Amino acid sequence: EFICDCPPGYAGKLCEENINECNSSPCLNKGTCIDGLASYLCTCMKGYTGLHCETEVNECQSSPCLNNGLCEDQVGGFLCKCPPGFLGTRCEKNVDECLSQPCKNGATCKDGASSFRCQCAAGFTGPYCEIDINECQSNPCRNQATCVDELNSYSCKCQPGFSGNRCETDQSSGFNLD
């Protein structure tokens, strides 16, 4: 009777059996085991790495999110949480806040990074150009005339006996009272 001293990876009375090193399921996280001679190789699922697929890949390590987006690591990928004003899988798209036409009364909207500003047409003010400037507020009309606020201007309704753009002329004397 004899006993064979088998080389690594073989077994059996005559060393005729190739030992399947994958029988012990050495690959983790659903990795695929490929048997070799006295060895094995793990092919890892997406999102894992290492000799036994034991390490989860941190897809956020490369800072894939743009414009101060927050990266959330996931198995086999990542998710970007975008700050206001940005969208896209990597927060790469600047939202055009002017698309909703927030500016009023003929104002021009200027888009910025997560913001906008309105350039008001003459006679308007406010963040959205929503306020008609009251040109009568400074009391431009004279001699108890009534001021009528108009778009970017005013007119004066003079009392009897007065004339001029601001009712500044006394018709009885011809004097300009300004």
Q: Does residue 176 have a pLDDT over 70?
A: no
Other beta carbons within 10 angstroms of residue 166's beta carbon come to 20
Q: What is d(CA 51, CA 63) in angstroms, rounded to the nearest whole number? A: 25
Q: What is the CATH number of domain 10-56?
A: 2.10.25.10
Predicted structure pTM score: 0.51
Q: What is the CATH number of domain 98-131?
A: 2.10.25.10
Q: What is d(CA 133, CA 57) in angstroms, rounded to the nearest whole number? A: 60
Give residue 113's pLDDT band: very low, low, confident or very high (50, 70, 90): confident
CA atoms within 13 A on the CB side of 51: 3
DSSP letter for each residue of the chain? -----PPTTEESTTS-EEP-GGGG----TTPEEEEETTEEEEEPPTTEESTTS-EE--TTTT----TTPEEEEETTEEEEEPPTTEESTTS-EEP-GGGG----TTPEEEEETTEEEEEPPTTEESTTS-EE--GGGG----TTPEEEEETTEEEEEPPTTEESTTS-EETTTTEE--
Q: Domain 58-95 is of which CATH architecture?
A: Ribbon (2.10)
Q: Quick one: fold of 134-176?
A: Laminin (2.10.25)
Q: What is d(CA 22, CA 147) in angstroms, rounded to the nearest whole number? A: 95
pLDDT tens digits along 26-76? 999 999 999 988 899 999 999 899 999 999 999 999 999 999 999 999 988
pLDDT tens digits along 115-159? 899 999 999 999 999 999 999 999 999 999 999 999 889 999 999
Specify the domain boundaries for CATH 2.10.25.10 within the chain.
10-56, 58-95, 98-131, 134-176
Beta-strand relationship, 32-36 and 39-43: antiparallel
pLDDT tens digits along 21-40? 999 999 999 999 999 888 99
DSSP 8-class letter at 137: G
